[in-house]
Amino acid sequence: MSRYRGPKLKISRRLGLLPGLTTKKSKKLNRPGKDGNSQDMSKKLTEYGVRLEEKQKLKFNYGLTESQLFRYVKEARRRKGVTGLILLQLLEMRLDTLCFTLGFASSIGQARQLVNHGHITVNNKSINIPSFQCRLKDTISVKEKSISKNLISTNLKNNPRSDIPSNLKFDPTSLQAIVLDYCNREDIPLQLDELLVIEHYSRR
């Protein structure tokens, strides 16, 4: 299954605020669909439907395919600790997600494009793989090219981050960040019950 490239506001209307997908807000309050204003839409979701929507939030927010998300869930299960938190930490340690968190881009999709185009380096090595899994003590910086620095500087002005998580140390002057630790659950702005995502995949 390929990555979703359709209307983003329709997704946010259905699933709620997804900061990694888009910063735009729809003027429409009803859920998308022909019967969005009907009473039928107010029917309570089944347990499966609730779990599915939580999974879809994670998938669309981080811009993942179904197979990618399933691989992350399997890896989270394999590691020791709270599976739901480990899953979120794995996703937050992706290079495109870290670039978004630092304010290099307005969405994770835009951050993915920055990485694809070679504007970002990790430990002074150019990385063009958005899913690259960063590690503790890794240094994320902008390529030493005027076009890269100007692009990131403009994005930082347009997307100021006053709440950069404590697990990241960012120097806006040098456009360089160090990964100090894994993120805490309260540092992730996505409103999500990650345990329901684990439950969804436990039936596979």
The domains of the chain are located at: 8-89+190-202, 94-181
Quick: pLDDT tens for 40-89: 444 677 888 889 999 999 999 999 999 999 999 999 999 999 999 999 99
C-alpha–C-alpha distance, residues 31 and 28, integer Å:
8
Strands, E assignment, the chain: 120-122, 125-126, 139-142, 168-171, 176-179
| Arch. (CATH architecture) of 8-89+190-202 | Orthogonal Bundle (1.10)
Quick: pLDDT tens for 149-198: 999 999 999 887 778 899 999 999 999 999 999 999 998 888 888 999 99
CA–chain centroid gap for 53, Å, is 16
Asked if 112 contacts 129 with a C-beta cutoff of 8 angstroms, the reply is: no
Q: Answer yes or no: same fold for 8-89+190-202 and 94-181.
A: no
- CATH annotation of 94-181: 3.10.290.10
Average pLDDT in the chain:
86
